[in-house]
Amino acid sequence: MAYHYTKALELPSYYWALSAWHGVRMDISFAGYLLVLPTLLMAFTFKRFNWYKSFIHSYSLLTTFIIALLVCVDLELFRAWGFRIDATSLHYLQSPREAWASMSSAPVGFILSIGLFLFGISYWLLTRIAARTLPQLRPLSPIISLLFFIIAAAAWIIPIRGGLQLAPMNQSTVYFSEESFANYAAVNVPWNYSSSLIHQTYNKDNPFRYLPDSTARQKTRALYDDQVPQLTLVDSGRINVIVLIWESFTAKIVGTLGGLPGITPQFDQLAQEGILFTNIYASGDRSDKGMVSILSGYPAQPTRSIIKIPTKTLHLPSLPKNFKQQGYSTAFYYGGETEFANMKSYFLQQKFDNIVDIHAFNKSDMNSKWGAHDHVVLNRFLSDLDHAPQPFFNTLFTLSSHEPFEVPVPTVIAGTSQEKLFLNALHYTDRSIGDFVAAAKTKPWWKNTLLVIIADHGHPMPATEAGKPSQFHIPMLWLGGALKNTGLRINTLASQTDLASTLLHQLGKSSHDFEWSNDIFDSHRQNFAYFAFNNGFGWVRPQGYLIHDNIGGNIIGKEGNINPAELENGKAYLQTSFGDYLSR
């Protein structure tokens, strides 16, 4: 903050303290990593410990030098890159001459002076501490040493993962503000660099390169159309928007879509009152992928998840950011930990004014693992909407239909198998949403509101025939007083990513920034759906589908009259979308 004082002065002064306070957990986490090796080696000092003194001095020298180097280099690279140093810097090792040339305008002498000072003062302090403590070591019996080894090794897990919460340490743990610089200041540099190395965010090699890049891009862009459809099903004006994201809401359990009857009676009834989209596919197989697909219209990656890398999500378009720019208030509600899968950093970047999560609810309203039950969060959401500045764009994410499927109501779907518990949890969430909609209809803001209910992803249960895309088939329903037409069924084949463009066009807004989103009502659109799973992808067209295994390079599922050219289209889409991910 001192080095980039001009940016620091743009923040309220109390943000300086907040950045330090929120960053402490990541500092402690990395300190835990550093202390693992010395702690474990201490278990072998029961006979002799003079060697351990030498090790501590060498270890302190090496780690202090590396950390001081990272910190001082980060100071200037942040000015050029706009984010904290990560393993992307390894690319410069391939061209050291260009790297040195790029540093010509940097105050190299001043930076090196800072690095030497940090290294000198830190190493001096460590050696002073070692000089006072290491002489106190005494030989221990092998049994006590082994016991110490076990206890110490287990104890470091807690600070390393950042505490006892469900989500382990990630950038979201220290992000706390819409101000990017305040969040970046809270990040621990060596932790960030190590995390980047582990997750290989520096790697720009596309493993899904099937065609020349220009050919793949041409085939992919041919699937999109920029025309704005004339069909308008939503009232004009500044309409309130609610996006309700339903955990694991697979079409396989929706009776009105041909799924199991009796699991979602409330949704089946509401489908008669709104606009039901019957042929929508999730872009990915996890919540973190679905969140970005829904809010940013961005396709999922097979082996990565863009939401876990804040430097990549920072420049993604998003619905909350778009509505915020147009004067809407924005909020995100979730009964669990928003730090999970690094979601909170993404929500802050996308300009949600208010984030309500597990910390806003009483422990008595929690299940044993994830957080507050769905009806509790929906009731809080309903109450807050009465006081929300209008127009608003608010999002709510349910959680009760996630494993372990714990619900605070009597069992309706009998049975103790995982599938029965899953169905029972979905039935509970269905009732909670039905109660929410019934209450919302009595509110004055309902007549000017559009409610979108959509799943974050599908689910393997109930079990279906392997090699079919039904696991990714999800419902989407539009409700609210802002609808001009009700009782409609839209059977167009589309993707979860298409919500962004469709919604914005219905409200008379531009979707130019959402290049991976295709308006469902565009009569000129190419009807397709792409979905990614762990190292594989599915490609769905009106005439059929295919599912490709990226590891074996073979088709593991196929149905309908789908020609070989469609496999090339699917590969081109994967190559281009993953290339876009790598380039961000």
Selection from 200, 202, 170 nearest residue 188 by Cα? 170
Is 548 labelled as part of a ligand binding site?
Answer: no
The residues, any chain, with a CB within 8 Å of residue 556's CB and separated by 6 or more, are: 467, 536, 547, 548, 549
Give the pLDDT score at 98. Answer: 46
- Cβ atoms of residues 275 and 454 within 8 Å: no
| Residue matched to tokens 């790029």 | 102
d(CA 238, CA 137) in angstroms, rounded, equals 71
Selection from 187, 180, 293 nearest residue 245 by Cα? 293
Is 465 labelled as part of a ligand binding site?
Answer: no
Give the pLDDT score at 141. Answer: 76
Q: Which two tokens stand for residue 390?
A: 């209008």
Is 247 labelled as part of a ligand binding site?
Answer: yes
**Each residue's pLDDT tens digit, 20-45:** 999 999 999 999 999 988 888 877 76
**Each residue's pLDDT tens digit, 32-78:** 999 988 888 877 766 677 788 889 999 999 999 999 999 998 888 88
**By CB neighbour count within 10 A (0-12 exposed, 13-18 middle, 19+ buried), where does 28 fall?**
middle
Q: Map out the domains of the chain with their CATH numbers.
A: 5-199 (no CATH), 237-517 (3.40.720.10)
Contacts made by residues 410-418, CB under 8 angstroms, sequence distance 24+: 413/263, 418/461
Facing residues of 546 across strands? 539, 558
The per-residue pLDDT string of the chain (584 residues; one tens digit each, 9 = 90 and over) reads 999 998 899 899 999 999 999 999 999 999 999 998 888 887 776 667 778 888 999 999 999 999 999 999 888 888 766 778 877 666 555 545 545 544 555 788 898 999 999 999 999 999 999 999 888 877 777 777 778 777 877 788 899 988 888 778 888 889 888 788 898 899 999 998 888 887 766 677 898 999 999 999 999 999 998 778 878 999 988 999 999 999 999 999 999 999 999 999 999 999 999 999 999 999 999 999 999 999 999 999 998 899 988 889 999 999 999 999 999 999 999 999 998 888 999 999 999 999 999 999 999 998 877 899 999 999 999 999 999 999 999 999 999 999 889 999 999 999 999 999 999 999 999 999 999 999 999 999 999 999 999 999 999 899 876 668 999 999 999 999 999 999 999 999 999 999 999 999 999 999 999 999 999 999 899 999 999 988 789 999 999 999 998 877 889 889 999 988 999 999 999 999 999 999 98
Half-sphere exposure of 451 toward its Cβ, with a 13 Å CA cutoff? Answer: 25
Backbone angles phi, psi at 23, to 5 degrees: -75, -15
The residues, any chain, with a CB within 8 Å of residue 45's CB and separated by 6 or more, are: 52, 137, 139, 140, 145
Tell me the whole-structure pTM to 2 decimals. Answer: 0.80
Backbone angles phi, psi at 354, to 5 degrees: -135, 130
Please tell me which residue in 287, 401, 495, 511 is annotated as part of the active site: 287
Give the pLDDT score at 143. Answer: 79
Facing residues of 455 across strands? 246
Give the pLDDT score at 101. Answer: 46
Whether 287 is catalytic: yes
Task: Check residue 253 and give left, alpha or beta (phi > 0: left; psi -120 to 50: alpha).
Answer: alpha
